[in-house]
Amino acid sequence: MTIHIGAKPGEIAETVLLPGDPYRAKWAAETFLTDVKMINEVRGMLGFTGMWQGNRVTIHGSGMGMPSLSIYVNELIRDYDAKTLIRIGSCGGMQANVGIRDVILAMTSSTLSTPSSGIFKELNFAPCADWSLLEAAHKAAIRKGATTHVGGIYSADVFYDERPDLNEQMTRHGILAVEMEAAELYNLAARHGRRALAVLTVSDHLQTGEALPSEDREKSFGDMVEIALEAAFS
């Protein structure tokens, strides 16, 4: 047990999928895994371990934003020795050629700050995805027929951003999409020598104002879970 995770030693798999929403973790575990056991419910942050095609997997909520994700990923790595960590989540599209439902694979993520900024001081550390995971996820996404973009994203600190100029600069510099967690996941994976990737679905678009209808969210989320699982075990 850690401060925020109630799992006993050995109850968390080496491969961990991290949706922001704990109820998405429950849904994904019940839909895609067998022999599922709930291994955490501290503060309502649900985590489940089960089997996928002969492989042991944990699906655990990260919460919203980098400070929340940082707590769980630190404990998953340092106390439970998680080795492969894949964020599965939604993002807001920032380019005209990025459409609703498209899959984004984040090579790297820009930020204003992360919980790791204190370490880097004036250095702008460029956190990046694990290449083997990125390559395998790209192949899996193409196999599924998903319109897929690979490139830089932006991990924001603020959902209700009062600074439209910042989003404009991100768009101008080719950033594909905005979310709120990937950069810190990549920082922590780099620091501890682990593999990390963010597989995202575009749920809304900052320029067009379009949003994924709620009835489509489950299907898009399911595709992401399968892409992440195929990448982790390829």
Positions touching ligand HPA (CB under 6 A) are 90-92, 156, 159, 178-180, 203-204, 206
Closest separation between CB of residue 20 and ligand HPA, Å? 8
Q: Which of 179/226 has CB closer to ligand HPA?
A: 179
Do residues 124 and 117 touch, judged by C-beta distance below 8 A? Answer: no
Nearest alpha-carbon partner for 138 in 128, 149, 127, 130: 149
Count of CA atoms in the C-beta half-sphere (13 A) of 1: 5
Helix, strand, or coil (residue 78): helix
Closest separation between CB of residue 137 and ligand HPA, Å? 19
Query: 35, 79, 157, 204: which one is catalytic?
Result: 204
Give the residue carrying structure tokens 């951003």: 161
Beta bridge partners of 60: 47
Q: Which of 40/62 has CB closer to ligand HPA?
A: 62
Cβ-closest position to ligand HPA: 92
Concerning whether 204 is annotated as a catalytic residue, the answer is yes
Do residues 101 and 220 touch, judged by C-beta distance below 8 A? Answer: yes
Q: Which of 180/185 has CB closer to ligand HPA?
A: 180
Closest separation between CB of residue 49 and ligand HPA, Å? 27
Q: Which amino acids are annotated catalytic?
A: 204
